Every structure is written in structure tokens, then in C-alpha cells.
Amino acid sequence: MATEKKIIKAIKINADLCNGCRACEMICSAFHSLPMYSSNNPARARIRVVRHPLEDIYVPVYAGESVGAECAGRDKYIIDGKEYDECAFCRASCPSRDDFKEPDSGLPLRCDMCEGEDEPMCVKWCITDALTLEEREEEVEIVEPQEKLDIGLASLVETHGMQKIMDAVTRMSSLKDFK
């Protein structure tokens, strides 16, 4: 099987080094404002620091996919005697909470790793090194696109028979939408 090299980007979050300053939230919102840096507002950030100083809780969390519905149940972690907020570590923009949504429109926010920059802005501004960027190369299998198609068709043929598939392809090829 042929393989290729792919760069995987990961932000390493060392919560033990977080000083709770929220510069990451500020610069994230500034970078993503339009025009760039024209405004900032941590409530729009795609990162948030879960922060309870007296309990020594400092956890930077990034915005991931938005979900249409909340989970069937919620979770709550206790680690080394510290109790974290409900769903504290979850990256989803979710109906159950206000996090990772534009404060005015409610539209979901998602971390894009500040595409196009050398490193995400939150990493650049975190000079206490709670946030660092790790890039690693991984060998991944090259999957031929054709091969994927063959597999899919074979399973359709198995279900419907070759003739029906051929007819369907002929019919569809005459339709405008598929041209």
C-alpha cells in the first residue's frame, strides 16, 4: 500500500502553566474580527479559559464542531479533588450553553488554527507556554479515489443487480442536473 507524509498540527495545552490571563481569548477575537484586529471581544473567542482561581482551575478549551442538539446527559469531572464545570472540556458549540457562540447573533464559533499564519495567535501570545504548537509528520495511506468508487459501486450492484445500475446511470446522464 502506498503512503504519503502529512503534517498534523496540534496545540499542546499545558494547563499547569496557564496563568489565567486570557490573552488567548483576547487575541483570538481580535484576529478574527473584520477587518483583522479592528476590534476585540473575548466573548467572541474560539478559545476560552475555564477559570476558577480559588480552586486553582485553569483550563484553556478550543471551540470545535457545533452540534444541533445537546448530549443525552452531561458530564462533570473531578480530578485531583478539583471539580470542573459541567461539560468543561467539551469543544462543542451546543444549545446547552453560551460558550463558543457569537454573543449577538448566537452563531457558532469554531477554531480554525488561524489558517495562513505561522502559528495560531493564541499560541503566539501565550509566552508562559501553556499553549504551544506541535507539528508532526505522519505517514498516511494513499487511498486511490477510483478504488473507493469501485467499492461503492460493487456494493450497489450486489444489492440491485448490474442491469438496474446501468439503467440508472443512463437515465441520470440525460438529466440536466447531473451533467
Regarding 123 and contact with other proteins (CB under 8 A), the answer is no
Q: Which of 95, 103, 106, 161 binds other proteins (CB under 8 A)?
A: 103
Among 63, 56, 120, which Cα is nearest to 89's?
A: 63
Q: What are the C-alpha distances in Å from 121 to residues 1, 18, 28, 168? A: 38, 16, 6, 51
Regarding 20 and contact with other proteins (CB under 8 A), the answer is yes
Q: CB neighbours of 9 closer than 8 A, spacing ≥ 6?
A: 113, 133, 134, 135
Question: Which 36-95 positions form the footprint of other proteins (CB under 8 A)?
Answer: 36-44, 52-56, 58, 85
Question: Given the complex with other proteins, which of 19 and 155 has the nearer CB atom?
Answer: 19
Given a contact cutoff of 8 angstroms between Cβ atoms, the answer to whether 61 and 73 are in contact is no
Question: Given the complex with other proteins, which of 32 and 91 has the nearer CB atom?
Answer: 32
Q: Which residues bind other proteins (CB under 8 A)?
A: 19-23, 26-27, 30, 33, 35-44, 52-56, 58, 85, 103, 125-128
